[in-house]
């Protein structure tokens, strides 16, 4: 497994686990509550920071575990990375319609922020999963 494929797996695992904890924590408070009073900003910032930090730490750990492969890329890796990023871009472009529509409908900031966070999550997952599929099935 190449280092780029490992990074994609790390990104999927970190993104899913951190966002699952965030959404479980924040959305558990929604039932019967005024969403304007739910403190979501700090947990969201913590989730974003934890995702970035855990991704960096896990990538460094993977590079230390297999130092020969770390940083080595070839043309196939670059093409897979580019295609994965294109997929992520298109998913983000489509998913961003939801927070935009919520803003136009003057929805609560809670829903707009969480829809935008979900759009970023979906884009990251689509990008990483595309890369994993291309590595596994061939490019």
CA distance 24 to 20: 6
Q: Closest Cα partner for 11 from 46, 55, 56?
A: 55
pLDDT tens track for 23-53: 999 999 998 888 889 999 999 999 999 999 9
Does residue 1 register a pLDDT over 80? no
pLDDT tens track for 60-114: 998 888 777 766 778 888 999 999 999 999 999 999 999 999 999 999 999 999 9
First to last CA, the chain: 14
CA distance 45 to 115: 15
In this prediction, residue 79 carries a pLDDT of 94
Assign 3-class secondary structure to 31-49. Answer: CCCCHHHCCCHHHHHHHHH
Largest pairwise CA distance in the chain = 54
């Amino acid at each position: 497994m190449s280092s780029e494929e490992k990074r994609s797996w790390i990104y999927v695992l970190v993104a899913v686990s951190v966002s699952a904890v965030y959404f479980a924590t924040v959305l558990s408070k929604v039932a019967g509550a005024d969403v304007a009073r739910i403190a979501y900003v700090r947990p969201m910032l913590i989730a974003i920071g934890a995702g970035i930090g855990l991704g960096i730490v896990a990538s460094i750990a993977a590079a230390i575990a297999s130092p020969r492969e770390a940083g080595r890329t070839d043309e196939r890796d670059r093409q897979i990375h580019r295609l994965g990023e294109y997929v992520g871009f298109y998913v983000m472009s489509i998913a961003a319609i939801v927070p935009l529509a919520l803003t136009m409908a003057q929805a609560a900031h809670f829903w707009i922020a969480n829809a935008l966070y979900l759009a970023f999550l979906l884009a990251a997952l689509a990008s990483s999963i595309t890369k994993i599929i291309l590595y596994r099935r061939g490019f």
